[in-house]
Chains A and B, each alone.
Chain A
């Protein structure tokens, strides 16, 4: 029972790390990025290549996955995404679906269509027993990393100069420019961090979520659920939403496997109809 709860929390934390980048781009920059999962997939594959082929230690590969994915993100943002910020949501959806299709086929071509596994070091395998509750070491690591990241993110958005610049740029881009804030750079950095986090999440989650070329399509809906249910006005909303989703999904698969993902999708539709701004958002400000 507690083990399921624990697994669910680890799963939810992973979802949060991947999805919080999406929450930022969607909520703050008003960009529907369905290709967000592709960045997570990139992070996963980077780790697989680093660890399995080049022999980089697993823990050292995580920051590398973050940095490389962020670099990919910034290149794509400067060359492609920057042209679709001002377009309608439909065009953004078409554009990012196109990117997803391209990434799926490209990864299939380069890495093959089979599922990939990361070779975990020995000290991360197995379980430890705390008061009769079996806790997977790897999941404990995930929770620790993701928890720290969440705190750091909250601090960065709420407490630093960059955070206030970002919020200013989003609230009113023109005034922010007038105040001398370089909005383009702020957006580019935000996008890079968002995709880097997705990459890190993908690297950590390769073992738990399963990594194959269809990853962006399979998990797209999960990330979107986190963002829509959690709302995009804060970090805590998506955080609570991902924890709930993670626990509900793991528990649901364990206790009532016949229902499958049915419940989650239904809950998403109900929430969207009931509160289009998200469950945990303040009253709609825009």
Chain B
């Protein structure tokens, strides 16, 4: 009787400790707050650049979705454009045939539809090595592209034309300069980022990290590996779908290019540039990638892909670890600053 109570106490303190550790992980660092303040400020600072900023926000969301898969669960994918494209076409079809007129609702509907697709296809990536996964995800994206190419309703190679978007929430209509589109994309990105942040800092997120590290051991301590993989794959698919839907809604057009292999390769590059496994990698990568693409395209309009390829080759040859290690001092500094700020808050409160 006594022993049981004691062990109950012990487990309760353990739970409290675990919760405290999780809460410590989930703290906002000053750098994070500064990042989002800068993002919000960009609305007012660069009013003429809203079109490209919208693209960056969408790319960032797409890369964030891949980060959930690759950076947290360790699932490699060479066909992530499948979900991006599916979401893009879903949003296009919803608007074109007036199924759901309100953009935010349509966005959610597209996201949920893509999650279903992610759920169904997630069972394909449970088995096999990295190589099998790369091939299967690539195959799924190719099949979807072929379907979109053949179907009457998706417009084939001409793309989905004649999409007219209703005003957001019935009040804010999309304008030609992309002001509304940018604010809309940024708010969606931030909202979904908050959810992703909550997910990765939850016990569920930690269990993902553990099974990325070693699936066998994770299974041995009682984590249902396949269940977790299906769950995160479904969530990531939904994120990619919403990113695609945002692209359709802000450009009022969807073409086969949303399902291209290049899109899957680009998003992988974006994530690798920014770094995996800390959520901001995709966002920072998207900013760098788009600026770089813009600059290279101005320099050599037709051949910017060459330089993108060169960057990929260099990143691999130099080694991803070595590149991320160069930013370590900065991160350590931020970590120390965070700790000081929070201990100060706790001390005064």
The answer, yes or no, to whether B138 is at the interface (CB within 8 Å) is yes
Once the chains bind, are B303 and A90 in contact (CB under 8 Å)?
Answer: no
Query: What is the CA–CA distance of A30 and B64 in the complex, to the nearest angstrom?
Result: 30
Complex interface: stretch among A128-136, A144-152, A255-263? A255-263
Complex interface: chain A residues within 8 A of B325 (CB):
none
Once the chains bind, are A80 and B317 in contact (CB under 8 Å)?
Answer: yes
Query: What is the CA–CA distance of A106 and B135 in the complex, to the nearest angstrom?
Result: 26
Complex interface: chain A residues within 8 A of B140 (CB):
269
- Counting chain A CB atoms within 10 Å of each CB, which of B135, B147, B311, B315 scores highest? B135
Interface residues in B310-330 (C-beta closer than 8 Å to A): 310-313, 315-317, 320
Once the chains bind, are A109 and B136 in contact (CB under 8 Å)?
Answer: no
Query: What is the CA–CA distance of A268 and B261 in the complex, to the nearest angstrom?
Result: 17
Complex interface: stretch among A64-72, A96-104, A204-212? A96-104
Once the chains bind, are A228 and B135 in contact (CB under 8 Å)?
Answer: yes
**With A88-B130, A221-B138, A262-B146 as given contacts, are A95 and B124 in contact (CB-CB < 8 Å)?**
no
Once the chains bind, are A87 and B142 in contact (CB under 8 Å)?
Answer: no
Complex interface: chain B residues within 8 A of A103 (CB):
309
Interface SS majority for chain B: helix
Chain A nearest CB, measured from B241 CB (Å): 20
Residue from the list A83, A89, A105 in contact with B131, Cβ < 8 A: A89
Once the chains bind, are A260 and B317 in contact (CB under 8 Å)?
Answer: no
Once the chains bind, are B312 and A265 in contact (CB under 8 Å)?
Answer: no
Closest A residue to B70 using CB positions: A90
Once the chains bind, are A276 and B130 in contact (CB under 8 Å)?
Answer: no
Once the chains bind, are B308 and A83 in contact (CB under 8 Å)?
Answer: no
Residue from the list B143, B261, B308 in contact with A265, Cβ < 8 A: B143
The answer, yes or no, to whether B127 is at the interface (CB within 8 Å) is yes
Q: How many inter-chain residue pairs (CB < 8 Å) link A and B? A: 120
Complex interface: chain A residues within 8 A of B302 (CB):
105, 108-109
Complex interface: stretch among B18-26, B207-215, B264-272? B264-272
Once the chains bind, are A97 and B265 in contact (CB under 8 Å)?
Answer: yes
Residue from the list A84, A104, A272 in contact with B139, Cβ < 8 A: A272
Interface residues in A233-262 (C-beta closer than 8 Å to B): 258-262
The answer, yes or no, to whether A283 is at the interface (CB within 8 Å) is no
Residue from the list A84, A92, A108, A224 in contact with B135, Cβ < 8 A: A224
The answer, yes or no, to whether B76 is at the interface (CB within 8 Å) is yes
Complex interface: chain B residues within 8 A of A100 (CB):
309
Closest A residue to B142 using CB positions: A265
Chain B nearest CB, measured from A143 CB (Å): 28
Once the chains bind, are B303 and A269 in contact (CB under 8 Å)?
Answer: no
26 pairs of residues in contact across A and B, judged by CB atoms under 8 Å: A80-B313, A87-B316, A92-B316, A93-B78, A94-B268, A94-B316, A97-B268, A98-B312, A98-B316, A100-B309, A101-B265, A102-B305, A102-B309, A102-B313, A105-B306, A106-B303, A108-B303, A109-B302, A109-B303, A217-B261, A265-B142, A265-B143, A265-B146, A269-B136, A269-B140, A272-B132
Report B's interface with A, CB cutoff 8 A. Answer: 70, 76, 78, 124, 127-132, 134-136, 138-140, 142-143, 146-147, 149-150, 261-262, 265, 268-269, 272, 302-306, 308-313, 315-317, 320
Report A's interface with B, CB cutoff 8 A. Answer: 32, 80, 83-84, 87-95, 97-106, 108-109, 217, 221, 224, 228, 258-262, 265-266, 268-269, 272-273, 276
Closest 9 CB pairs between A and B?
A98-B312, A101-B309, A105-B306, A102-B309, A98-B313, A95-B316, A98-B309, A89-B130, A269-B139
